[in-house]
Amino acid sequence: MIVSGGPDLGKGSVAQRAERLQNEHENIYSALLCEPRGQPAMVGAFLVPPASADSTTGAIFFNAAGNLGMCGHATIGLIATLFFMGKIKPGRHLVETPVGIVDTMLHADGNTVALNNVESYRHLKAVTIDVPDIGPVTGDVAWGGNWFFLTKDVSVPLEPSKIPLLLEMAYKIKRTLQIANVTGENGALIDHIELYGPAHSSEAYERNFVLCPDGAFDRSPCGTGSSAKLACLVADGQDWRGQEWVFESIIGSRFSGAVDRLSGRGIIPVITGQAFVHAQTELIFNSHDPYAGGIAGAQQNQIMQVGSKK
């Protein structure tokens, strides 16, 4: 989380400033999140003054490939970090993101955060694509703050030892969606792939594996992906009143999900998880350093380039 020293993005909505970050400071993504300062799984958040007077802060989320509309686990981390810094107290805090206002609740422990995400909905149901070397794969296209293709047609076990194979499979699905021109609403790029299957824990509803736009996999159960999943469950007629679904990631981390209410196109989901501050640091950029802009691996670059094509 960048709390000071970032580029001046001017005034306007958080969405407008996020666009400026993407258009005018594109090199900052790899400089912050790739080696030698970061690593592929990291997500960043720029804190910016909110345009809304009711919001605690504005936040622009990003990974090594560029901006993210929303990020559930980063929002949880953001609120826990503000508490750690003494900026906020337990209670309700609004976060202005490029895709809307996210309503959060910080619990008394300072680590547990519940967030009412942006409106989430299913855009397409049961889309089948023929993926090279895999065969037919059927899934839903849904919005949870980012665009997702969610499928249970997974021929590889959702286990940590199979992560390289899962990455390859998810990447092929993403590429096939682009070739087949399967998109989100208004031609939006589907930049997240969620593979899901049976949970390993008896306390969880489902396990997932999420490919992110920069080619990394999500270490969390993915807040926006869980929101998209909840929207699909409700669209399929699942009774949501009083229900709580626990989702686990490929590494076993967990989020709980519920539905706050129905909305125009879908639902307002509630995602609850924990975050723990593990470091405070000052990043140094030396103009003579040939790798000041970051080092991106060949595979990561390839996936980033595919993800950036319309």
Of the pLDDT bands very low, low, confident and very high (cuts 50, 70, 90), residue 303 is very low
C-alpha to C-alpha distance for 49 and 212, rounded to whole angstroms: 27
* Catalytic pick among 34, 212, 222, 232: 222
Q: What is the tens place of the pLDDT at every residue in 52-78?
A: 999 999 999 999 889 998 999 999 999
To which H or E segment does residue 191 belong?
Answer: none
CB 255 within 8 A of CB 245: no
Topology agreement, domain 14-118+277-295 and domain 121-269: yes
Q: For residue 174, is pLDDT > 60?
A: yes
Pure H helices in the chain:
14-24, 28-33, 72-84, 163-179, 223-235, 298-308
Q: What is the tens place of the pLDDT at every residue in 78-99?
A: 999 999 999 999 999 999 999 9
Instruction: Answer yes or no: 222 catalytic.
Output: yes
Q: Residue 310 has what pLDDT? A: 33
Q: For the chain, what's the residue count?
A: 310
C-alpha to C-alpha distance for 29 and 32, rounded to whole angstroms: 6
Q: What is the tens place of the pLDDT at every residue in 26-49?
A: 889 999 999 999 887 899 999 999
Of the pLDDT bands very low, low, confident and very high (cuts 50, 70, 90), residue 297 is low
Q: For residue 283, is pLDDT > 70?
A: yes
Q: For residue 300, is pLDDT > 70?
A: no
**How many CA within 13 A on the CB side of residue 173?**
33
Buried b (16+ CB within 10 A) or exposed e, 180-198: eebbbeeeebbbbbbbbbe
Residue 161 is classified by DSSP as G
E-state strands within the chain:
44-48, 57-63, 66-68, 91-97, 100-106, 112-116, 121-131, 135-143, 147-151, 192-197, 206-211, 245-248, 254-262, 267-274
Instruction: Answer yes or no: 71 catalytic.
Output: yes
Q: Note the Cα 114 to chain centre separation in Å.
A: 16
Cα torsion through 123, 166, 176, 118, rounded to 10: 20
Report the DSSP pairing between strands 192-197 and 206-211.
antiparallel
Q: For residue 299, is pLDDT > 50?
A: no
Q: Which fold has domain 121-269?
A: Diaminopimelate Epimerase; Chain A, domain 1 (3.10.310)
CB 180 within 8 A of CB 258: no
Q: Residue 301 has what pLDDT? A: 45
Checking phi first, is residue 82 left (phi over 0); if not, alpha (psi -120 to 50) or beta?
A: alpha
Structure tokens at 184: 């989100």
Q: Residue 107 has what pLDDT? A: 98
**Domain spans in the chain, listed from the N-terminal domain onward:** 14-118+277-295, 121-269
Neighbours of 224 (CB within 10 A): 33
Q: What is the tens place of the pLDDT at every residue in 198-241?
A: 999 999 999 999 999 988 999 999 999 999 999 999 999 999 99
Residue 181 is classified by DSSP as T
C-alpha to C-alpha distance for 56 and 283, rounded to whole angstroms: 25
* CATH annotation of 14-118+277-295: 3.10.310.10
Q: Note the Cα 88 to chain centre separation in Å.
A: 24
Q: For residue 102, is pLDDT > 60?
A: yes
* Catalytic pick among 34, 71, 212, 232: 71
Q: Residue 306 has what pLDDT? A: 41
Predicted TM-score (pTM) of the model is: 0.90
Of the pLDDT bands very low, low, confident and very high (cuts 50, 70, 90), residue 5 is confident
Q: What is the tens place of the pLDDT at every residue in 133-167?
A: 999 999 999 999 999 999 999 999 999 999 999 99
For residues 101-119, average pLDDT = 97
In this prediction, what percent of the chain has a pLDDT beyond 90?
A: 87
Quick check: bond before 157 cis, omega within 30? no
Report the DSSP pairing between strands 100-106 and 121-131.
unpaired
